[in-house]
A and B are shown apart, each in its own frame.
Chain A
Amino acid sequence: MTWSLFAWGDAGWGDELVRGLAVTLALAVLSFLGGVILGTLAGLAEMRLRYVGRVLSVYAAIMRALPELLVILTVFYGIGPLVRLGGQAIGIDGLGLSPFWAGTLAISLVIGSYVSEVAKGAIAAVPRGMGEAAFALGLPQRRVTRLIVLPLALRHAWPGLTNLWMVTIKVTPLVSAIQLEDFIRAAGTAGQNTKHYFLFFGAVMVVYLALSGASMIAQSRGEQRLFRHIGRPSP
């Protein structure tokens, strides 16, 4: 095994791998944020709107059942051309979904469908009196949700959300199926050129394990902070 394979510049594959890792991390962060926003809105809608809520919960259940790869391919090959046609219809040429944004949209939809379940449980766990007290003090309903209910719900949602962050990280390699130069694809290119597949994919494994280890540490730190007022680690 030679470390020079990981060298920077033309001599090794270090810079290509780091660039791929940056793409993977950006994709993971954006998809997770998108998923949390979509899922929280969907969760609220499922609890408070009768008809829209029911449609959304069936949609989310189907989304959770489909393989992530199928969602990614369908968004890239199906929604991408639709966006292009839509752009042409309103007179903007060259609009479309790049592999990066198609991947972000697809993973956000998948993660959002799981987040909506977490959000529903967490919101239901917030004592009703909390929201009612804020409402009685004169806060409009919308601000009660935003300022009181959601921040309190975060405590209950934290384990579920951090779990989904780790799911997000582990789903991202699938975007290499839509030709995005992410971390694992960069490793594949390096392996193909040097015939050291085991080394490069082994490095991919190690980096992903480090990410998941770091996420576990962040999870327990965050939990300690969220529950510091009662001095115990979990609800």
Chain B
Amino acid sequence: MRWETLVEHWPLLAEGAVNTLWLTAATVLVGFVIAFPVALARNARNRLPRSLAAGFVFVFRGAPLLALLFLIYYGAPEIPLIRETWAWTLFRDPIPCAAAALSLNSAGYLTEVIAGALRSVPHGEVEAGKSLGLTRLQVFRFVKLPNAVRAGIRNYGNELVFILKGTSVASLVTIMDVMSAANQIYFNTFDLWAPMLAAACLYLAFIGAITVTIRAVERRLRVPGH
């Protein structure tokens, strides 16, 4: 292991770190936008949306991330609906493909996190809200949501860590993330330990930041006296 390797090649790692963070941010955003309505459907009173949402969870939680990524990245050009419309400008590029695969994959897990958090709100509190004359939307907004956020924040933090770790898979479709940068430095210098150790430290630092942030949010949300 040589430190000079890192001194010489750090810009590549920096580029990788930026891409890893971008990919994580995009996945967190899109994953949530997908998962929230599916979680509502998962808890619906009607059977049809409930089983559709269960199917969504089964498919995207059961399939490996890499299989999903390859299906989208290599398979998308074969779908006429994608090949011949504006979607092609998006799916031609590996980064949107990776973001799509990561988002769907994490939405599978996130749906259960959100649906579980919403279900954990005691029924009595919902009834109390109704008896005070709140509308269904108000009950959701002022009773269910705040309690669910409190109940689900820790699991959500775990999911964020899984998303960050998952982004490393994007290195297998030519995206220059931290993993890819470390790999490339290794192939250029034949020094394995310096880039891998640096990559490991970057991932640990990112995960540390996520954990600290989630803890702080958790503290802030805590009801005094509970």
Contacts and interface: CB of A to CB of B under 8 A. Distances in A.
Interface in A101-116: none
Interface in A186-233: 187-188, 191, 195-198, 201-202, 204-205, 208-209, 212-213
Given A74-B192, A170-B64, A197 B161 contact: no
B179 A69 contact: yes
A177 to B, nearest CB: 6
Contacts of A170: 62-65
A65 B203 contact: yes
A70 B204 contact: no
A73 interface: yes
Contacts of A213: 58, 62
Given A78-B192, A169-B64, A65 B204 contact: yes
Which 6 residue pairs of A and B lie closest in terms of their CB atoms, listed nearest first? Answer: A198-B75, A212-B62, A67-B168, A197-B74, A201-B71, A173-B66
Interface of A: 62, 65-70, 73-74, 77-78, 166, 169-174, 176-177, 184, 187-188, 191, 195-198, 201-202, 204-205, 208-209, 212-213
A118 to B, nearest CB: 15
B46 to A, nearest CB: 24
B88 to A, nearest CB: 15
B196 interface: yes
Given A65-B203, A66-B204, A201 B74 contact: yes
Nearest to B79: A198
A202 B204 contact: no
Contacts of A188: 70, 74
Contact of B71 (A69, A174, A198): A198
A65 B200 CA distance: 9
A159 B201 CA distance: 32
B172 interface: yes
A73 B67 contact: no
6 contacts: A67-B179, A70-B203, A173-B67, A177-B172, A204-B67, A205-B67
B68 to A, nearest CB: 7
A175 to B, nearest CB: 10
Contacts of A62: 200, 204
Nearest to B183: A73
B55 to A, nearest CB: 10
Given A65-B203, A170-B65, A208-B64, A77 B192 contact: yes
B155 interface: no
Contacts of A172: 64
Given A68-B165, A213-B58, 10 more contacts: A65-B161, A70-B199, A78-B196, A170-B64, A188-B74, A196-B78, A197-B78, A208-B62, A208-B64, A212-B62
B19 to A, nearest CB: 14
B63 A208 contact: yes
Interface in B123-176: 161, 165-169, 171-172
Interface of B: 58-59, 61-68, 70-71, 74-76, 78-79, 161, 165-169, 171-172, 179, 182-183, 186, 192-193, 196, 199-200, 203-204, 207
A173 B192 contact: no
Nearest to B65: A170
A205 B61 CA distance: 11
A84 to B, nearest CB: 14
A74 B165 CA distance: 16
A134 to B, nearest CB: 37
Contacts of B66: 173-174, 176, 184
A213 B207 CA distance: 31
Nearest to A81: B192
A114 to B, nearest CB: 12
Nearest to A201: B71
Contacts of B186: 77
Contacts of B192: 74, 77-78
A129 to B, nearest CB: 32
Contacts of B172: 69, 176-177
A70 B67 contact: no
A74 B196 contact: yes
Contacts of B200: 62, 66, 70
